[in-house]
Amino acid sequence: MQFALSEEHTLIRDSARRVAREVIAPRAAEVDRTAQYPEDYFQALKAADLLGITLPREVGGADAGTLAMGLAIEEVAKYDCSAGLMIMLGALATHTIKFFGTPDQVERFVGPVARGEKKAAFCLTEPDAGSDVAGLQARAERDGDEWVITAQKQYISGGPVADQVIVFAKTEPGNPRSTAAFVVDTKTPGFEVTSVDRKMGVRGLPTGVLTFDRVRVQHDQMVGGEPLGMRGPLATLNSLRPCVGARGVGLAEGATEYALNYARERRAFGGPLTDLQAIQFKLANMAIEIEAARLLVYQGCWLVEQGKYGPNDGHMLSVAKAFATEMANRVASEAIQILGGQGYMEDHPLERHYRDARQLMIVEGTSEIQRTIIAKALIDRNLSYA
């Protein structure tokens, strides 16, 4: 495996770092406090060509690969985990089309998202179907050249501000193999954002309940022109799991840097906190965890670029996602402990990092789902230490 970053990787990382420091860092606390969508984040990321990193160059994307996106996400998540999700959301909402759509669908539906002309969202989760993806109740009924979609989707990241969504529904009730993906313009009659969630963290990107009340779409809005089964949503989720881990790595790096700077300045027992072995060991353990997680995430990104995100290969992506997101929670907690009472105050960003980190172990497959995937790989010998 090549550990050196390419020139393109370095340029994308540096662009993201610049946006993070100049635009995101000064606004992160306010965005969290008000829970107002930060359009300035979106426009800055668009201007830096960071919204379509994995999307085809022919339609306006950078086609720079998953590692490049992971690097960009890592940089912005140091200051605001919402910004990392904002970068990732364009891919989440279009990878199914990129993988399985027709050339015309890629041009029509991926291009505007890649160019930052439209915001998009991925509509999979339902009130009774979260981790159990096969249990979707959403249905799509054929009516001539149209499909009529009836569904309620919840916890949809970016849904309340989306211009288009990709929604998964079954064409045959009870049959997971009939699961199809449809691209829906949010101005279509019958589509409604019925509520916006009040969240513990990651407040810069709203989530909500989206209702599809007999929404009519043309047949050419069905991705690939036929039901994709479970491979549609799962290929997309697998391909982006390392990037959820990248959000965790960035968050942990930001928390560690803040705690270290505080420990250098704060004096106790006759010297700075950094003179105390208890603090030194905390910082060292935080660094060890970050470095291990970063390697797993970068390897996961590389595996996706090699096309290894299918059912027989996805376990290493689950390893990266589970470890990096759980690591972020541990590191955020330790960073608060270093600051003591100050860490608990809203005057410092660590309590926000702590709240944001908790989301990461739930989205794009919970930690428990990741362990189920890893255990199955061990039992089936797709992952072996023999």
pLDDT tens digit sequence for 7-62: 999 999 999 999 999 999 999 999 999 999 999 999 999 999 999 999 999 999 99
Contact 18, 48 (CB under 8 A): yes
Q: Which of 212, 211, 216, 224 is nearest to 142 (CA)?
A: 216
Read off the pLDDT of each residue in 246-252 and give the average, rounded to a whole number.
99
Contact 239, 309 (CB under 8 A): yes
Asked whether residue 259 carries a pLDDT value surpassing 80, the answer given is: yes
Percentage, residues of the chain above pLDDT 70: 99
Asked whether residue 376 carries a pLDDT value surpassing 70, the answer given is: yes
Read off the pLDDT of each residue in 271-281 and give the average, rounded to a whole number.
97
pLDDT of residue 246: 99
pLDDT of residue 386: 86
Same domain, 155 and 283: no
Question: What type of residue is 36?
Answer: Q
Same domain, 93 and 149: no
Please tell me whether residue 213 adopts helix, strand or coil conformation: strand
Instruction: Name every residue whose Cβ is closer than 8 Å to that of residue 345 and which is 6 or more positions away in sequence.
Output: 351
CATH number at residue 210: 2.40.110.10
Contact 133, 233 (CB under 8 A): yes
Q: Considering 226, 253, 364, 368, which one is annotated as catalytic?
A: 364
Identify the domain boundary among 79, 97, 114.
114
Same domain, 133 and 203: yes
pLDDT one-digit tens code per residue, 293-347? 999 999 999 999 999 998 888 999 999 999 999 999 999 999 999 999 999 999 8
pLDDT of residue 313: 84
Percentage, residues of the chain above pLDDT 90: 94
Q: 166 in a domain, yes or no?
A: yes
Rounded Cα distance, 297 and 324, in Å: 7
Read off the pLDDT of each residue in 92-99 and give the average, rounded to a whole number.
98
Same domain, 96 and 201: no
Instruction: Name every residue whose Cβ is closer than 8 Å to that of residue 143 and which is 6 or more positions away in sequence.
Output: 216
Mean pLDDT taken over the chain: 96
Identify the domain boundary among 84, 114, 144.
114
- pLDDT class for 278, splitting at 50, 70, 90? very high
- pLDDT class for 2, splitting at 50, 70, 90? low
Q: Which of 356, 138, 382, 144 is nearest to 250 (CA)?
A: 356
Same domain, 159 and 278: no
pLDDT one-digit tens code per residue, 107-166? 999 999 999 999 999 999 999 988 888 899 999 999 999 999 999 999 999 999 999 999
Instruction: Name every residue whose Cβ is closer than 8 Å to that of residue 184 and which is 6 or more positions away in sequence.
Output: 149, 164, 165, 166, 167, 191, 212, 215, 217, 221
3-state secondary structure 71-109: HHHHHHHCCCHHHHHHHHHHHHCCHHHHHHCCHHHHHHH
pLDDT of residue 165: 99
- pLDDT class for 4, splitting at 50, 70, 90? confident
Identify the domain boundary among 177, 195, 225.
225
Rounded Cα distance, 194 and 191, in Å: 9
Same domain, 76 and 155: no
Same domain, 205 and 251: no
Which residues form the domain of 12?
Answer: 7-114
Q: 14 in a domain, yes or no?
A: yes
Rounded Cα distance, 337 and 343, in Å: 7
Q: Which residues partner with 209 through β-bridges?
A: 195
Please tell me whether residue 163 adopts helix, strand or coil conformation: coil
Nearest 10 degrees: Cα torsion 162, 163, 166, 171: 120
Asked whether residue 1 carries a pLDDT value surpassing 70, the answer given is: no
Q: Which of 64, 365, 378 is nearest to 242 (CA)?
A: 365
Asked whether residue 3 carries a pLDDT value surpassing 80, the answer given is: no
Whole-structure pTM value? 0.96
Half-sphere exposure of 270 (CA within 13 A, CB side): 0
Angle of the 81-92 helix axis to the 39-47 helix axis, nearest 10? 60
**How long is the chain?**
386
75 is catalytic: no
Same domain, 201 and 262: no
- pLDDT class for 226, splitting at 50, 70, 90? very high
CATH number at residue 65: 1.10.540.10
Same domain, 366 and 290: yes
